Amino acid sequence: MQPPAYVDRLVAPFARHLLALELPGLPADRLDAVVPFVLRRVDGLPSPVRLGVLAVAAAVRAAMSLPVVGAEVPAFLGSHPLPVIGEYARLVRSLGFAFVFEEWPDSRADGSPAPLVRPALRVVRA
């Protein structure tokens, strides 16, 4: 089930930007899978909690739309533990990290996929 459009408009831009900053090695296709997971989880929160999260998301989204500082908002919130608003960044980060490392357990700490290791061929001489 897809979350409502308002959840997508409020949460997705922040989630995409924050997770791209926190997991710089995460390939784009994997990031495209992580963001809908975060949206579904936010939409699945109990009503009072979801209302609070979406209120904070609306404020953050409004700040992100400012022309001068908008691009720096996710980086600032991700690195500064502000009350309430900082918890929103922690929520998005923890949901994203949980999905990445559950779905692709071979991922490195920066989100990049681990290289495929091919077993060495042993030559057996008779």
Model pLDDT for residues 27-43, shown as the tens digit of each residue = 999 999 999 999 999 99
**CB neighbours of residue 96 within 10 Å:** 25
Domain membership of residue 85 (yes or no) is: yes
Where do the H-state alpha helices sit in the chain? 5-22, 28-43, 47-64, 73-79, 85-103
Q: What is the end-to-end Cα distance of the chain in Å, rounded? A: 60
Q: CB of 93 within 8 A of CB of 20?
A: no
Residue 53 lies in a domain: yes
The average confidence (pLDDT) of the chain is 89
The number of distinct structural domains making up the chain is 1
Residue 126 lies in a domain: no
Residue 57 lies in a domain: yes
Q: What is the pLDDT of residue 126?
A: 65
Does 120 map to a domain?
A: no
Range 78-92 average pLDDT: 87
Q: Which domain holds residue 96?
A: 5-103
pLDDT-derived band at 53 (thresholds 50, 70, 90) equals: very high
- The answer to whether residue 110 is domain-embedded is no
